[in-house]
Amino acid sequence: MEVKETRAGPGLAPVPQPQPNQPGYPQLDQGGQPGYPQPQQGYPQQGQQGYPQQGQQGYPQQGGYPQQGGYPQGQQGPGGYPQQGQQGPGGYAGGPPMMMQPMAGGAPVGGPGGWIGAPQQIPKDCPPGLQYLATVDQLMVKQKLEGIEAVTGFETNNKYEIVNSMGQKIYYAVEDTCCCTRNCCGASRPFDIKIMDNSRKEVVHLSRPLRCSTCWCPCCLQKVTVEAPPGQTVGYVRQAWSCCKPKFKINNEKDEPVLRIKGPCCQWNICGDIDFDVTSADESTDVGRISKQWTGLAKEMFTDADNFGMSFPLDLDVKMKSVMLGAVFLIDFMFFEKDKDDVKDETKRLH
């Protein structure tokens, strides 16, 4: 066997190198050049047994890609799932893909304009428009900043955005009161708030009459009626008598207590949130929370635009979730809605 010797460097022993047609080197092809190894046994050739032909099972048919509205008739979709209108194993029927997965921890697909997509599964006995609340356990209520109100102190109708934990808009809320009521009664004013979905359809209506909020009038404390849809009462938010800490009751349509809310003695916290705990009706178990969030020193001092976060059990009845939403607006007006005189006084202190 002919072996060529090469030297790896000065003073080193020659290193034998394998030559063509020898073990460890590719075989020469007919042209005398090293080639690729020939097909070995175990790789079926096209046209032989073991390789699926075009038109046979295992090879996609021409034109068999998903068409708009589903897959071709008589074929299964990816993974063997049944087609639209067909029945699969166990009696499950194929259908269109869901726009939003109604599962905890899942990321729902958003709709146009930052709005949440419409859920495909609607809970039983769910009022129209409240199906969006069935898949969330947290909400954010963000009050829109009104420039005219911030500069002049002239009270305007409040506007709010209600979003989920991912920032997707669920509802849009607008106060509906007259100019005289807003500027004469201030934060104690009666109000009507319309909560609308992305189609501008009113799904929840909140109404608050003119009542007292002091502990000296226990028979005439604050109350908010929640209607969903408008005209059909689903619950009430009632202020409970308390000497120091603010307390509220979340009642159902029969005015029976379902949840309770307990707030702190002091509703002021610099650079921190103010929490209102949500408990069961007997106050033995914490089930959620309503938090007035800190939005910055300038915004807190010169405006009444507040942000609230609320959490509740995922499986809580959607009607009670809407009543808890009404409690957020009542808490905002009672403790954090500033009158125009308060804004002017704080402005003078800085001069």
Name which of 106, 105, 162 is nearest 129 in CA terms. 162
| Mean pLDDT to the nearest integer, 302-329 | 91
Higher-confidence residue of 312 and 105: namely 312
For CA atoms 70, 88, 93, 315, give the dihedral sign. negative
Write down the pLDDT at residue 244: 82
Write down the pLDDT at residue 109: 52
> Which residues, other chains included, contact 219 with Cβ-Cβ below 8 Å and sequence gap of 6+?
none
On average, the pLDDT of the chain sits at 75
- Please report which confidence band the pLDDT of residue 19 belongs to, taking 50, 70 and 90 as the band edges: low
- Please report which confidence band the pLDDT of residue 243 belongs to, taking 50, 70 and 90 as the band edges: confident
Question: Does the structure show a pLDDT above 50 at 60?
Answer: no
DSSP string for residues in 134-188: GG-SEEEEEEPPPHHHHHH------EEEEE-TTS-EEEEEEE---HHHHHHHGGG
Question: How many CB atoms neighbour CB 239 within 10 A?
Answer: 24
Q: Are 111 and 117 in contact (CB under 8 A)?
A: yes
Domains of the chain: 135-347 (2.40.160.200)
Residue ranges of the alpha helices (H) in 179-237?
179-185
Higher-confidence residue of 67 and 188: namely 188
C-alpha Rg value of the chain to the nearest Å: 35
Higher-confidence residue of 153 and 278: namely 278
Q: Record the pTM.
A: 0.64
Q: Structure tokens of 113?
A: 């304009």
Write down the pLDDT at residue 236: 98
- Please report which confidence band the pLDDT of residue 78 belongs to, taking 50, 70 and 90 as the band edges: very low
| Mean pLDDT to the nearest integer, 127-139 | 93
Candidate from 3-7, 155-159, 167-171, 329-333 with smallest mean pLDDT: 3-7
Question: How many CB atoms neighbour CB 124 within 10 A?
Answer: 4
- Look up residue 11 and give its amino acid: G
Residue ranges of the alpha helices (H) in the chain?
147-152, 179-185, 297-302, 318-331, 340-349
